[in-house]
Protein backbone atom coordinates (compact mmCIF):
# COMPACT_ATOMS: atom_id res chain seq x y z
CA UNK A 1 0.00 0.00 0.00
CA UNK A 2 2.07 2.94 -1.31
CA UNK A 3 -0.22 5.83 -0.26
CA UNK A 4 1.16 9.12 -1.63
CA UNK A 5 4.43 8.92 -3.56
CA UNK A 6 6.55 11.95 -4.38
CA UNK A 7 9.57 12.19 -6.62
CA UNK A 8 12.29 13.32 -6.54
CA UNK A 9 13.24 13.37 -2.85
CA UNK A 10 15.95 16.00 -3.34
CA UNK A 11 16.80 18.44 -6.08
CA UNK A 12 19.12 21.38 -6.61
CA UNK A 13 18.08 23.84 -9.30
CA UNK A 14 19.83 26.85 -10.73
CA UNK A 15 18.00 30.15 -10.87
CA UNK A 16 15.81 30.27 -13.97
CA UNK A 17 15.60 26.52 -14.46
CA UNK A 18 12.29 24.66 -14.49
CA UNK A 19 11.23 21.33 -13.07
CA UNK A 20 8.21 19.19 -12.29
CA UNK A 21 7.60 17.61 -8.91
CA UNK A 22 5.68 14.38 -9.28
CA UNK A 23 2.91 13.17 -6.96
CA UNK A 24 0.90 9.97 -7.26
CA UNK A 25 -1.65 8.43 -4.89
CA UNK A 26 -3.21 4.98 -5.04
CA UNK A 27 -6.05 5.50 -2.55
CA UNK A 28 -8.58 6.80 -5.10
CA UNK A 29 -8.78 10.11 -3.24
CA UNK A 30 -10.52 12.94 -5.05
CA UNK A 31 -8.78 15.71 -3.15
CA UNK A 32 -5.09 16.44 -3.66
CA UNK A 33 -2.91 19.29 -2.42
CA UNK A 34 0.52 20.81 -2.75
CA UNK A 35 2.08 22.52 0.27
CA UNK A 36 5.43 24.10 0.94
CA UNK A 37 7.05 24.16 4.37
CA UNK A 38 9.67 26.73 5.30
CA UNK A 39 11.63 26.57 8.58
CA UNK A 40 9.61 27.81 11.55
CA UNK A 41 6.50 28.31 9.43
CA UNK A 42 3.30 26.38 9.03
CA UNK A 43 2.60 24.57 5.80
CA UNK A 44 1.36 26.92 3.09
CA UNK A 45 -1.08 25.72 0.42
CA UNK A 46 0.15 26.25 -3.14
CA UNK A 47 -2.54 24.56 -5.24
CA UNK A 48 -5.26 22.00 -4.72
CA UNK A 49 -7.58 19.83 -6.76
CA UNK A 50 -11.02 18.41 -5.95
CA UNK A 51 -10.98 15.91 -8.79
CA UNK A 52 -9.56 15.11 -12.21
CA UNK A 53 -9.66 18.16 -14.46
CA UNK A 54 -10.26 20.62 -11.61
CA UNK A 55 -7.54 22.69 -9.95
CA UNK A 56 -7.51 25.89 -7.93
CA UNK A 57 -5.04 28.28 -6.36
CA UNK A 58 -4.13 28.18 -2.72
CA UNK A 59 -2.45 30.78 -0.56
CA UNK A 60 0.92 30.99 -2.38
CA UNK A 61 0.46 29.98 -6.07
CA UNK A 62 2.80 32.46 -7.75
CA UNK A 63 5.62 30.80 -9.66
CA UNK A 64 3.89 27.42 -9.76
CA UNK A 65 1.48 25.53 -11.97
CA UNK A 66 -0.43 22.27 -11.67
CA UNK A 67 -2.50 19.88 -13.71
CA UNK A 68 -4.78 16.98 -12.79
CA UNK A 69 -5.43 14.78 -15.79
CA UNK A 70 -6.11 11.65 -13.72
CA UNK A 71 -7.35 10.91 -10.19
CA UNK A 72 -3.95 9.47 -9.29
CA UNK A 73 -1.51 12.14 -10.48
CA UNK A 74 -1.05 15.76 -9.45
CA UNK A 75 2.27 17.18 -10.70
CA UNK A 76 3.57 20.58 -9.62
CA UNK A 77 5.50 22.63 -12.16
CA UNK A 78 8.05 25.28 -11.23
CA UNK A 79 8.85 27.72 -14.01
CA UNK A 80 11.87 30.03 -13.78
CA UNK A 81 13.04 28.87 -10.35
CA UNK A 82 13.93 31.57 -7.81
CA UNK A 83 15.82 31.32 -4.48
CA UNK A 84 12.52 32.10 -2.69
CA UNK A 85 11.26 28.72 -3.87
CA UNK A 86 13.86 26.91 -1.79
CA UNK A 87 11.66 24.85 0.50
CA UNK A 88 10.31 21.41 1.33
CA UNK A 89 7.33 20.52 -0.82
CA UNK A 90 4.66 18.09 0.35
CA UNK A 91 1.89 16.56 -1.68
CA UNK A 92 -1.18 15.30 0.20
CA UNK A 93 -4.48 13.65 -0.55
CA UNK A 94 -7.79 13.09 1.25
CA UNK A 95 -11.21 11.56 0.70
CA UNK A 96 -12.98 14.84 1.43
CA UNK A 97 -11.91 18.38 2.25
CA UNK A 98 -12.95 17.91 5.86
CA UNK A 99 -10.91 14.81 6.58
CA UNK A 100 -7.33 14.26 7.66
CA UNK A 101 -4.71 14.22 4.96
CA UNK A 102 -2.18 11.60 3.91
CA UNK A 103 1.12 13.22 3.00
CA UNK A 104 3.90 12.11 0.72
CA UNK A 105 7.45 12.01 2.05
CA UNK A 106 8.34 15.39 0.56
CA UNK A 107 10.75 16.92 -1.94
CA UNK A 108 13.61 19.07 -0.64
CA UNK A 109 14.31 21.71 -3.26
CA UNK A 110 17.22 24.14 -3.21
CA UNK A 111 17.47 26.93 -5.77
CA UNK A 112 20.95 28.42 -6.13
Partner 1 sequence: RKEVEQDPGPFNVPEGATVAFNCTYSNSASQSFFWYRQDCRKEPKLLMSVYSSGNEDGRFTAQLNRASQYISLLIRDSKLSDSATYLCVVNDNDMRFGAGTRLTVKP
Binding residues for partner 1 (CB under 8 A): 33, 35, 40-43, 45, 58-59, 90, 97-98, 100-106
When the beta carbons of 38 and 79 are compared against partner 1, the nearer one is 38
Question: What is the rounded CA–CA span in Å between residue 68 and residue 43?
Answer: 21
Q: In angstroms, give the least distance from the CB of 9 to partner 1.
A: 10
Q: In angstroms, give the least distance from the CB of 67 to partner 1.
A: 21
Question: What is the rounded CA–CA span in Å between residue 3 and residue 39?
Answer: 25
When the beta carbons of 9 and 18 are compared against partner 1, the nearer one is 9
Handedness of CA 89, 91, 61, 13 (dihedral sign): positive
Q: How far is CA 11 from CA 40, 43, 103, 110, in A?
A: 21, 20, 19, 6
When the beta carbons of 84 and 97 are compared against partner 1, the nearer one is 97
Amino acid sequence: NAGVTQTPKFRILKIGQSMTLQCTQDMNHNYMYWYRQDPGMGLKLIYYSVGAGITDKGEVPNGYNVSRSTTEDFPLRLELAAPSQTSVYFCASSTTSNYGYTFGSGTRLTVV
